[in-house]
């Protein structure tokens, strides 16, 4: 039994085993009806987007948090698969930059896991009040919620089932899949789209199966780092979502950036910086005890008198690159790796294997004795859009393993209420329903 009513039908079959055939037929009927309704909503959305494009309207993908990162990837899909420009934005950006210029030709697509996100609810209410004729659509997981039931003209479900972990993972991947289907509908038939999604599924399975070793090595190295940057070549949405997962479940600082943009200021973090972990502090205490010949005079006085203690804390800053199988992105990534590792960066690369990329990562820069690097080879797709799925899942697993390792370390140190947990991190809610 696989329909949305499978629990109820299973109970009926258990109570009335002689009706098992009828129960199975009803389950199949529900699945068929559901599939037909979802297909109709998808075609309706494609028609509305094509009409907006033909009439000179704009398409806005509005979402918060993880769903906003999905909208950034959705814009990547629409650009590459459909040749259509869409505007991804979070509710604050939409309100401050676009709400006052809406026309009836535009389409607003809200993306939400819960269907109750307050920021997005307010946007839909304001859009309806300002432009009653504008088309409002939602991509949603919780179908029995306000946005799809009360505030949308129609909705398209992402069908991933309940999102149990607080930090959304499977809903993000399903949002990507739905956005891929809609964007691909501009240039492919249903059979071609289905084949691509089946390939994406197989690639994700291969990613989880084949990257365990190098991912665990990277997680062990990175979990003690107080800060890192994830740099996506063209894939800013994937990079930002990967960084969000690290912030949410590891509680380390992390930022997602476009790879080429990193050199415009954030690269000042490379080389000597004053971000230290508890592992660094342990090494400082070890160094102090080893060289102590007088009573402790105070923290600042001791550091001023023994500058080698601080010097011993400085190390390379971790950069995680995500490079799709695209010639321009490959060239940019190689250039950025060479630019940053000589200034004091350790490198982790997520990419489909390429000899030139691997050489750029593994070659130690001259004069840097403690350089560390890892290549995480993702299964080959030779398709930048399908690469999105493998890179997203690999980054999710990296954050998960970092969280596990750091959680065990803090537990062993006796740190109480530290909040590091891969499923239930502190301060994170499944649905934000307040301003």
Q: Output the pLDDT for position 146.
A: 96
167 within 8 A of 248, measured Cβ to Cβ:
yes
pLDDT in tens, 207-241: 999 999 999 999 999 999 999 999 999 999 999 99
Q: Which residue has the higher pLDDT, 371 or 4?
A: 371
Within 375-414, where are the H helices?
Answer: 384-412
Run of H or E including 204: helix 190-210
pLDDT tens-digit profile of 318-365?
999 999 999 999 999 999 999 999 999 999 999 999 999 999 999 999
Of the pLDDT bands very low, low, confident and very high (cuts 50, 70, 90), residue 66 is very high
Q: What percent of the chain has pLDDT over 90?
A: 78
- In terms of Cα–Cα distance, which of 228, 259, 224, 222 is closest to 244? 228
What integer pLDDT is reported at residue 295 of this predicted model?
66
Bridge partners (DSSP) listed for residue 256? 230
Model pLDDT for residues 400-435, shown as the tens digit of each residue = 999 999 999 999 999 999 999 999 888 887 667 777
pTM for the model stands at: 0.92
Q: Where are the alpha helices (DSSP H) in 322-424?
A: 327-341, 355-362, 384-412
Mean pLDDT rounded to a whole number for the chain: 93
CA–CA dist 84, 183 (Å, integer): 8
pLDDT at residue number 297:
67
The first and second tokens of residue 58, run together, are 């704009």
pLDDT on residue 311:
85
Q: What is the DSSP letter of 85?
A: -
Q: What would the pLDDT profile of 93-130 be if each residue is shown by its tens digit?
A: 999 999 999 999 999 999 999 999 999 999 999 999 99
Taking only the tens place, the pLDDT of each residue in 300-320 is 887 888 888 888 888 899 999
295, exposed or middle or buried, with CB in 10 Å at 0-12, 13-18, 19+?
A: exposed
φ and ψ at 352, to 5 degrees?
A: -75, 140
| CA atoms of 20 and 331, how far apart (whole Å) | 59
What tens digit of pLDDT does each residue of 145-198 get?
Answer: 999 999 999 999 999 888 888 888 999 999 999 999 999 999 999 999 999 999
DSSP string of 50-71?
A: HHHHHTT--EEEEE-HHHHHHH
Confidence bin at 296 (pLDDT 50/70/90):
low
């Amino acid at each position: 039994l696989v329909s949305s009513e499978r629990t109820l039908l299973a109970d009926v079959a258990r109570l009335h085993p002689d009706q098992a055939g009828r129960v199975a037929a009803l389950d199949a009927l529900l699945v068929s009806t559901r599939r037909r309704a979802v297909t109709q909503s998808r075609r309706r959305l494609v028609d509305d987007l094509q009409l907006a494009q033909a009439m000179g309207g704009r398409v806005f993908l509005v979402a918060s948090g993880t769903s906003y990162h999905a909208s950034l990837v959705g814009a990547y899909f629409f650009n590459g698969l459909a040749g259509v420009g869409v505007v991804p934005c979070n509710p604050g950006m939409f309100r401050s930059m676009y709400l006052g210029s809406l026309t009836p030709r535009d389409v607003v697509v809200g993306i939400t896991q819960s269907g109750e996100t307050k920021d997005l609810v307010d946007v839909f209410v304001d859009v309806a009040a300002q432009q009653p004729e504008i088309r409002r659509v939602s991509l949603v997981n919780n179908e029995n919620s306000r946005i799809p039931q009360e505030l949308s003209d129609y909705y398209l479900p992402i069908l991933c089932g309940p999102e149990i972990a607080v930090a959304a993972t499977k809903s993000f991947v399903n949002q990507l899949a739905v956005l891929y289907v809609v964007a691909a509908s501009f240039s492919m038939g249903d059979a071609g789209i289905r084949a691509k999604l089946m390939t994406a599924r197989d690639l994700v399975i291969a990613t989880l199966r084949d990257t365990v070793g190098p991912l665990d090595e990277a997680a062990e190295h990175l979990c003690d780092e107080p800060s890192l940057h994830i740099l996506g070549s063209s894939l800013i949405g994937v990079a930002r979502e990967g960084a969000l997962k690290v912030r949410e479940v590891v509680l380390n600082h992390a930022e997602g950036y476009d790879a080429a943009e990193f050199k415009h200021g954030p690269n000042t973090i490379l080389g000597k910086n004053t971000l230290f972990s508890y592992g660094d502090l342990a090494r400082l205490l070890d160094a102090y005890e080893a060289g102590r010949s007088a009573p402790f005079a105070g923290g600042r006085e001791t550091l001023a008198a023994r500058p080698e203690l601080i010097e011993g804390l400085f190390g390379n800053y971790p950069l995680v690159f995500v490079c799709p199988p695209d010639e321009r992105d490959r060239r940019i990534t190689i250039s950025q790796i060479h630019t940053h590792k000589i200034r004091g960066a350790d490198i982790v690369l997520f990419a489909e294997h390429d000899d030139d990329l691997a050489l750029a990562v593994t070659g130690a820069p001259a004069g840097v004795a403690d350089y560390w690097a890892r290549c995480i080879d993702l299964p080959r797709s030779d398709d930048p859009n399908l690469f999105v799925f493998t890179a997203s899942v690999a980054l999710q697993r990296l954050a998960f393993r970092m969280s596990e390792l750091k959680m065990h370390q803090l537990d062993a140190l006796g740190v109480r209420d530290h909040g590091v947990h891969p499923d239930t991190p502190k301060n994170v809610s499944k649905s934000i329903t307040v301003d």
